[in-house]
Amino acid sequence: MYGRARCLDSLAEEEQSNTKLDRAILTYRGVVDLADEHPTLVPLKLLLLAAERCIDRMQFRGMTSKALRVQQRLLQRFPEDVNLRNKMGLSYVMMSQYAAAKEVFETVLNKWPNNGFALVHYGYVLRTHDQNNTGAAWYLSRGIESREEGTQDSRFYYGLGDVLQRLGKSQEAYKVYDEAVEKGMLMSRYQRSLYNVDRLTSRPLWTHEQTTYHLFFRNLEQNWELIRDEAIAIMNMPPQNGFLMERENLRETGEWKMFELFSRGRKLTANCVNAPQTCALIENFAPASGCKRGQVKFSLLEPGTHVHSHTGPTNCRLRAHLGLVVPDGVRLRVIDEIIKWEEGKIFIFDDSFEHEVWNEGNETRLVLLIDVWHPDLTEHERRTLDAI
């Protein structure tokens, strides 16, 4: 049975055939079933081989819950196998079942307190799910320092630096970033996006002309009052006016809300009904409306809001802000430059570089945020890069 599964598996790869792959998966699982029914019939080593490949191929096909069930069955047979347990924890993380993931890694760490894989993943869950920065920093740094397989990943370095910054330990954070840069995991200590195209011009602040999109930006500036009026009308719509809270756990205090018009290269028709003129100004300009790695949205920052220092996910876009309502006491930091918006004026930066935002005034700040493709990207890249 195992031999048959291997053959189907190889054929699937050779022919790039999902049908064959699904048959391979079923056959591998047949080995696991057989081992359950007749424990003496299947040598343990063979069971392990079949089950691990079965899990791997299921995950490749996106059958995450099926894979998890095989993992659970396997773990019952090999309760002392720490790698199996860790892999199951990882499955829970990938399925966003963080409570279950925590339990698995806690079990591992109770028995094997120095297991690097469990340490980094436990830290990762503490950061992303529990927002426990102190705990996350402790586990992530111990895990990374173990240098064990599975611990040297850009997301762990990025996450460790991030929690250290939030804990006010900037110097330590930049040490972590610098180490990641040395290992080729991050582009630079300040430009820390993880989804990148290599050869793009890296520059935190951009002039209108440098983007080559200056005519488009000028047209938006010339129409800024009309854009502002549409945004204000939406803000005044009762009671759930369609502005949504930011969900990425980037705020320290206050409220930061968005009203999206385009996202990942698509027009959000239901929202554009409420901002028809703004959407019309954007729609025919493909570098903005077709930017699959960005959005166009109204962004509102209430008084008393602080958005933590952070970096965007990709270097493939530039982020333009058109100031619409700009009270006193608001500012944006990009690396070490402090920027103040101006009503009716567009400011452009590359949000893959570290930035931070404050509204320490008494009134709401409103901007139209327009992401555009990085001008160095070819047409082919704009068509084929995955959406973010």
Whole-angstrom distance, CA of residue 14 vs CA of residue 57: 15
Q: Which residue has the tokens 């102190």?
A: 134
How many binding residues for Mn ion (CB under 5 A)?
A: 1
Choice between 230 and 351, CB closer to Mn ion: 351
Q: State the DSSP H helix or E strand holding residue 339, giving kind and residue range, or none if neither.
A: strand 337-339
Q: Which of ligand LMR, Mn ion, none does residue 299 bind to, with CB < 5 to 8 Å depending on kind?
A: ligand LMR
Distances in Å between the alpha carbon of 164 and those of 84, 87, 136, 138?
Answer: 31, 27, 9, 10
Is the CB of residue 318 less than 8 Å from the CB of residue 296? no
Choice between 84 and 301, CB closer to ligand LMR: 301
Q: Is 354 in the site for ligand LMR (CB under 6 A)?
A: no
CB of 355 to ligand LMR, least distance (A): 6
Q: Is 351 in the site for ligand LMR (CB under 6 A)?
A: yes
Q: Which residue has the tokens 């500012």?
A: 331
Q: Is 368 in the site for ligand LMR (CB under 6 A)?
A: no
What is the footprint of Mn ion within residues 332-351 (CB under 5 A)? 351
Q: Which of ligand LMR, Mn ion, none does residue 332 bind to, with CB < 5 to 8 Å depending on kind?
A: ligand LMR
Q: Which of 51, 84, 282, 332 binds ligand LMR (CB under 6 A)?
A: 332
Whole-angstrom distance, CA of residue 356 vs CA of residue 345: 20
Question: Radius of gyration (Cα) for the chain, nearest Å?
Answer: 25
**Cβ-closest position to Mn ion:** 351
Whole-angstrom distance, CA of residue 383 vs CA of residue 363: 41
Stretch that binds ligand LMR, among 34-42, 76-84, 213-221, 349-357 (CB under 6 A): 349-357
Whole-angstrom distance, CA of residue 108 vs CA of residue 102: 10
Whole-angstrom distance, CA of residue 125 vs CA of residue 131: 8
Choice between 367 and 388, CB closer to ligand LMR: 367
**Cβ-closest position to ligand LMR:** 299
Choice between 35 and 367, CB closer to ligand LMR: 367
Stretch that binds ligand LMR, among 4-12, 14-22, 111-119, 350-358 (CB under 6 A): 350-358
Helix (H, G, I), strand (E, B) or coil at 211: helix
Q: Is 162 in the site for ligand LMR (CB under 6 A)?
A: no
Choice between 301 and 372, CB closer to ligand LMR: 301
How do the residues of the chain divide into helix, strand and coil, expressed in percent and rounded to 5?
Answer: 50, 20, 35
Task: Say which DSSP state 317 is in.
Answer: E
Whole-angstrom distance, CA of residue 289 vs CA of residue 357: 25
Helix (H, G, I), strand (E, B) or coil at 219: helix
Q: Is 299 in the site for ligand LMR (CB under 6 A)?
A: yes
* Amino acid (one-letter) located at 232: I
Q: Is 231 in the site for ligand LMR (CB under 6 A)?
A: no
Choice between 86 and 165, CB closer to Mn ion: 165
Residues that bind Mn ion (CB under 5 A): 351
What residues line the site for ligand LMR (CB under 6 A)?
Answer: 299, 301, 307, 319, 332, 351, 355, 357, 367, 369
